[in-house]
Amino acid sequence: MPGPSNTLLIEGSFEELADELSHYIDEVKRKQGDNNTAVQTEITPLLEKNQKDDVLKKLVTGSAVLNSAPEKEIIAAYNLLVHLIRQSSNPNMFLPRICQNLSNPITSSPTNGTGLALSILTTIFNILPQDNDVRYHVFLAILRVIRSSGSFELLRPQLKNLDTWITQWETDEEDQRKLYLSIAEVAEEASGEEEQSYLYLLRALRTIPSEEAASAEARQLSARALKSALSYPTHFDFQDLTSLDSIQALRKSDPIIFELLDIFNAQVLDDYNDFKDEHDDFLSSQSLSDDTLTRKMRLLTLASLAASTQSRSLPYQHISRALQIPSEDTEIWVIDTIRAGLVEGKLSQLNQTFLVHRSTYRVFGEKQWTEVQGRLDTWRASLEGVLGVVRAEREKMVRERERELREVEGR
């Protein structure tokens, strides 16, 4: 994978090495039964005229066959080709084609093909100057190879460098979006990387300018991100979506799915069930699991219930009714909500209550400010009561001391 810059050390003149590589390409072709073109024959007159770029065009065009070369020779052959390309006055013209070749399967090595392709692409990436924008295309090729193998762990250590690379390459918003989407797709196809996939999908959405928020691309990406957020079992905060212009544009273009987002953002299980009754086949048409959404909605409903209760004490009966579950399952659902990080508190089997220590506000608007004001008023009244008791005790103590002093003086 990409690392510190390195150098290819290959001895020989351009003419000698180009002739050697063309001969090798022809040999690989002949072993596959292709005798139609001879690269060596084509480049000989070009070498005599010192037309390096024309020579490289022939070599690069024929280089696709290297993917079927013997496994032990593939890296050496590609390294030789890269070395020759670097001697061109315009190497950036040829490297994208090499990256495309390496994005395709290495047919001679089904087992080790991914490792071979990544090794060569990494070499190309690291020999390029840090601000060379061809690195962008090389990295996209690396992503395609990793995606085909499902090896997201190979990519993870490099993601910390991504922002720096994007700055160095001076990548525009459209290319950034393409890059983020490629990473999201790599994560999506890897096991257990749903969160990473969603995060990079969200980053892709943020590259869409406000004036393009209602475009076809923005609509497609927004719906995809929304469904990803709904389906991901541990994603509960939807403010990251609702703050985006492209998501807000769904209110007009896709009002049903936007309504569903609004329910998960701020409403409760009863509202979700009403939505299902009104839009009977919508979830299945969007490949959304009702079981997954119902479970998430129950956890969110309990979070809202805990946040809105003034007494901070929730009877089991209220919880089971709001979550539409048997009363004997109440503690299980409370524990699951605690594990999800939505609430903190203590269960009391004796009193059949859940004492809320902390709860998560799903949205914070006028209603929530009213609740906070109500709690502050309650705390103020409580503190005033405590102060009143302290003041009364202090006055009592002062009177006692005055009485004792009078008795002493009277003696």
Residues 139, 122: Cα–Cα separation, whole Å = 9
pLDDT tens digits, one per residue of 350-386:
999 999 998 877 765 555 545 555 556 666 767 777 7
User: What pLDDT was estimated at residue 3?
Assistant: 52
pTM of the model: 0.79
Q: What pLDDT is recorded for position 33? A: 80
Is residue 392 packed enough to be buried (19+ CB in 10 Å), middle (13-18) or exposed (0-12)? exposed
pLDDT, one tens digit per residue, over 274-299 is: 999 999 999 999 999 999 999 999 99
- Average pLDDT over all residues of the chain: 89
User: Mean pLDDT, to the nearest integer, of 297-305?
Assistant: 95
CB 185 within 8 A of CB 213: no
Instruction: Specify the pLDDT at position 394.
Output: 83
| Residue 341 reports pLDDT greater than 70 | yes
pLDDT, tens digit, 9 for 90 and up, residues 377-411? 666 767 777 787 788 788 888 788 877 777 776 66
Return d(Cα 186, Cα 190) in angstroms, integer: 7
What confidence tens digit (pLDDT) does each residue in 33-75 have?
877 778 999 999 999 999 999 999 999 999 999 999 999 999 9
- Residue identified by tokens 């902390």 is 358
> Which band of pLDDT confidence, cut at 50, 70 and 90, is reported for residue 5?
very low
- Rounded CA-CA distance 321/268 in Å is 12
Cα 230 to the chain's mean position, in Å? 14
pLDDT of residue 293: 97
- Contacting residues for 297 by C-beta, under 8 A, at least 6 apart: 263, 264, 268, 269, 272
- The Cα–Cα gap between 369 and 367 comes to 5
Whether 26 shows a pLDDT value over 50: the answer reads yes
pLDDT beyond 70 at 300: yes
**Does the pLDDT of residue 9 top 60, yes or no?**
no
Judge whether 181 and 199 are in contact, CB under 8 Å. no
Can you name the residues that pair with 345 across neighbouring β-strands? Answer: 356
DSSP 8-class letter at 345: E
Structure tokens at 64: 């696709």
Q: Report the percent of the chain where pLDDT is more than 70.
A: 93
Do residues 204 and 221 touch, judged by C-beta distance below 8 A? yes
